[in-house]
A and B are shown apart, each in its own frame.
Chain A
Amino acid sequence: SQKIEQNSEALNIQEGKTATLTCNYTNYSPAYLQWYRQDPGRGPVFLLLIRENEKEKRKERLKVTFDTTLKQSLFHITASQPADSATYLCALEASGGGADGLTFGKGTHLIIQP
């Protein structure tokens, strides 16, 4: 069955360092992968989308990579700040067949310590 795995344990990073979050998937051939941020009690907020023919995407302090051979995406936050503390969700199209609903991972809880 299709599965998305994110490190569900909390990730503690010191302010100013780079945080790297991992998303692994199995039994998918997604055309794209998305990353969202979710704060407690709030809806997910879109951060970045990367397509299968793209190796890397950047937006300000954020960088995402997508390795379709390894079936893995890495999400980096450089020069991390306490305000970056949140849960980060990896999402793929639900069936891998061009459908438009997203399947989310459980998310990684990131804590940036001052």
Chain B
Amino acid sequence: EPEVTQTPSHQVTQMGQEVILRCVPISNHLYFYWYRQILGQKVEFLVSFYNNEISEKSEIFDDQFSVERPDGSNFTLKIRSTKLEDSAMYFCATGRDRGLEQYFGPGTRLTVT
């Protein structure tokens, strides 16, 4: 069964550094999402992406964040200057269409020191 993959599984970085989290969506899916989950807290929506542009973003998704799909396969989340509070599990999710179920990847655990 096709699944969403994410790399790396764990990323440790120093405060102020840039990180790029990568996701390979399920091949026939058109909608891509990033969510984060701080340890012990709920899953929070960051951004949705369709047709090579952002379709929706939350208040969390400020100017430090960006997304792109540079090569038509990988979907990336970049955090330009990481803060301690960015430490969380970041999940990529994909869907065939709006209003349908979303398929989540295994997550990247980001630790900012």
Contacts and interface: CB of A to CB of B under 8 A. Distances in A.
Decide if A and B are genuine partners.
yes
Interface of A: 31-32, 34, 36, 38, 41-46, 49, 89, 91, 93-95, 98-107
B103 interface: yes
A49 B35 CA distance: 19
Nearest to B55: A100
Contacts of A98: 98
Interface in B1-46: 4, 31, 33, 35, 41-45
Interface string B31-74: 10101000001111101101000011010000000000000000
- Interface residue tally of chain B, by bracket? 20 to 34
Interface of B: 4, 31, 33, 35, 41-45, 47-48, 50, 55-56, 58, 89, 91, 93, 95, 98-107
Contacts of A42: 106-107
24 contacts: A32-B99, A38-B43, A43-B4, A43-B91, A43-B93, A43-B104, A43-B105, A43-B106, A49-B100, A89-B42, A89-B43, A93-B99, A98-B98, A99-B55, A100-B50, A100-B56, A100-B98, A101-B47, A102-B33, A102-B43, A104-B42, A105-B42, A106-B41, A106-B42
A44 B99 contact: no
Given A31-B99, A93-B99, A104 B44 contact: yes
